[in-house]
Amino acid sequence: MAEPVQTIRTVFDAETIGRRVRELGEELGAYYTSGDLLLLGALKGGFIFLGDLVRQIPREHQIDFLVAASYGRSRTSSGQVQILYDPATPLTGRHVVLVEDIIDSGTTLNSLVGLLAARDPASLEICALLHKRNAQLVLEPRFVGFDAPDEFLVGYGLDYAEQFRHLPFVGSLKME
């Protein structure tokens, strides 16, 4: 049996993404004018977005990471969220921004918001590069790069079975 053919249609090109990430950095800098700011990157998918974003925020901040999984090798969420790496950085009294690559089903995000809110941050907000706007969320993201189509997206850190993260653009993956 032959492997399915994969095609990728560009949804957001590298230049458009770069411009919007610069704008998001400026928005974050304007919103957080004081206090201890911590950007908490959701790995693995958010690492490229976070790396580009932190260089665009015109104020001091710290970063840490967490790893949560609900997809595995599937193109749909399993509905079960596993925390694979939990940050040791104290959140109490800090302004915490959870940086996500994409908000899709909301399952992972809702689990993370509950986990992080229980650690008593001064504030908790979400910054997402992509938002499909089809999820029931316990906390709507304050900072959003793009509204995304309800398609399976890869590139700019997003993957399918650990493939395609390296692409400099976001594309829609089709299996034929």
Structural domain boundaries in the chain: 6-26+37-175
Phi and psi dihedrals of 55, rounded to 5? -80, -10
Query: For the domain bounded by 6-26+37-175, which CATH number is listed?
Result: 3.40.50.2020
Categorize the per-residue pLDDT at 3 as very low, low, confident or very high, splitting at 50, 70 and 90. Answer: low
Average pLDDT value over all residues in the chain: 90
Q: Residue with structure tokens 């040791």?
A: 88
**Which one has a higher pLDDT value, 10 or 136?**
10
Residues involved in catalysis: 104
User: pLDDT for 23-41, tens place per residue?
Assistant: 999 999 999 999 999 999 9
* pTM exceeds cut of 0.75: yes
**Cα 105 to Cα 83, 122, 135, 168, distances in angstroms:** 17, 27, 5, 24
Q: What is the pLDDT of residue 1?
A: 57
Task: Report how far residue 113's alpha carbon sits from residue 124's, in angstroms, rounded to the nearest whole number.
Answer: 8
Q: Following DSSP, what letter does each residue of the chain receive, concatenated?
A: -PPPPEEEEEEE-HHHHHHHHHHHHHHHHHH--SS-EEEEEEETTTHHHHHHHHTT-SS--EEEEEEEES-TTSSS--S--EEEE---S--TTSEEEEEEEEESSSHHHHHHHHHHHTT--SEEEEEEEEE-S-S--SS--SEEEEE--SS-EEBTTB-BTTBSTT-SSEEEEEE-
Q: Which two tokens stand for residue 58?
A: 């015109």
Residue 21 pLDDT > 70, yes or no? yes
User: What is the rounded average pLDDT of the residues 159-174?
Assistant: 94
pLDDT in tens, 40-96: 999 989 999 999 999 999 999 999 999 987 655 444 444 567 778 878 889 999 999
